[in-house]
Structure 1
Amino acid sequence: MKYGFGVDIGGTTIKIGLFSKDGELIEKWEIPTNKTDNGKHILTEIADFIDRTIESKGIDKNDVFGVGLGVPGPVNKNGEVNGCVNLGWNTFNVEKEFNEISGFNVKVGNDANVAALGEMWQGAGKGYQDVLMVTLGTGVGGGCVLDGKIISGMHGAGGEIGHMPVRDDEPTACNCGNHGCLEQYVSATGIVTQAKKVLDHDNRPSSLRDYDCLEAKHIYDEAKNGDEVANEIVDLTCKILAKSLAQVCCVMDPEIIVIGGGVSKAGDILTSRISTFFKEYAFHACENIPVVLAKLENDAGMYGCVKSLF
């Protein structure tokens, strides 16, 4: 039997999965991300963990077909990472360095891109080859898969949907330094920001005013309960997202759009409204592209890392 490891490197924890070549997740673990010394120990600690794991399980190193790594930053086709602020990394070739440390066949990709590949392989996009995925969390990530392959682009910025410019009059800067990025309106943080603006300038009663610390979940929950203001905020953010998705679809024309991340736990209210607005904005040939919820949750990145190896 041949084995692969999928490693999703986050700013707080590193998720590591042991997989069979046919896509079965055999076992998974989490280890803390050691960001001391600008993250220079991260790759060594991953390699050490994998070595200990295969030894404890009696797996021959020659039976490991590779290790896929997902990282929170842009990655070009050669495995070079163009900086990962959350890890303390500058620009360097992660693929080459991890290969030298571990001796394994290695493939490196952006974390959102490999999540899209994972959903295509064993998740909501299974059975499709052209998948657009958007992850709505603290920020907004995206992944484009065409003909079963990640589209990372020349600079590793392929799929950075969260930083599409959607408004010119936004006074607040995005984390990327630009103004008016999609992420500022449809991420969990962005939704709350928009809600507070509405509540500050609208005197209508709303159950949203009852929360001391308003979260995206509260907004979707109250919208489901029929709160008028909450529903308007959900409509506002879903409309902005749907318009951006329609623009992306004019370029890549996917078979399916997959919505993941923490905000996706809102469920059908999210996908149904995105679909409704998407039909209004989409080019007629794309207007019936289905919008569905992701299935693999936090494991999608590990699946995609393994899939990227072959």
Structure 2
Amino acid sequence: MSSSAYLNMLNAMDDVVFDVEEALENQIGLQPLPFPGMDKTGSAVCVFFLRGTCTRGILCPLRHISGEKAVVCKHWLRGLCKKGDQCEFLHEYDMNKMPECYFFSKYNACSNKECPFRHIDPESKIKDCPWYDRGFCRHGPLCKNRHRRRVMCIAYMNGFCLEGPKCKHHHPRFELPQPDASTNLRKMLSGSIVCHHCNEVGHKLSQCPKLAAADPSLVTRIAFQGRRFDPVSLEQQRQRPLNEVTCYKCGEKGHYANKCFKGALAFLSESAQRTQEIRQREEEGQRQIALEANRRFGFRRAGEVLR
């Protein structure tokens, strides 16, 4: 048999489908995962999931990929990602989709010569100001976007340019620029924030101008504490006067324990022992009152028989 005849015989077998090909295509004999959340990095993509007909769900041993994922998961690179197929980042080692290097983006320098993350030039991330390209930007030199000086095309300004998009001069755009998503989100959030001090919308308590004018030190203390502030309990948050403070080391009033002038052996003083005796008597009296109340109203502990 000649080679041409043999090739013709092979070409005539294009319609032949083997049983193993049909089993692989229909996922016959594919066993589900023993438990969900297992790493399926080396597995193939589930064809039935792309069609929306996969019945195995989270126990499917094949990968369920949804949407276009543009950035590699930094936790998956260290083997610590627990989301699996539900992760919104890419579980695949692709140098073109690696996340940005934190140190290079923050300090403009990275000491790791074999850094796997992308080093993006900060100048390339700055966008051109659409208002400046239109003709005027109210922010001036303080604008966060780039103000690039260009030469206007005289022919385009008069109405028509023969060069079109290939013109070496700038063709300005006169439509109003659309606000970015961060600006819209900031406006939406500022409209839902209510100050707990003046009850006005648009700012937090730590940024309230009325509170800053009344007591600037209070604003600093609130921002440092970093917790929710309640103006009703403002008097409770203030420190008590020293004449009402009792030192638990020496038992005397007028100072706190961290500023006790009697040192580490202050608990051996007579005033400390006297304070300890008074505290013990008060605790004993409260215990007697509780026992009397239990005896009067018939309360008893578990296993205790009422006599």
TM range, normalised to the smaller chain? under 0.3
Higher radius of gyration, 1 or 2: 2
> TM-score of the superposition, structure 2-length normalised?
0.19
Q: Which structure: greater strand fraction?
A: 1
TM-score by length of 1: 0.19
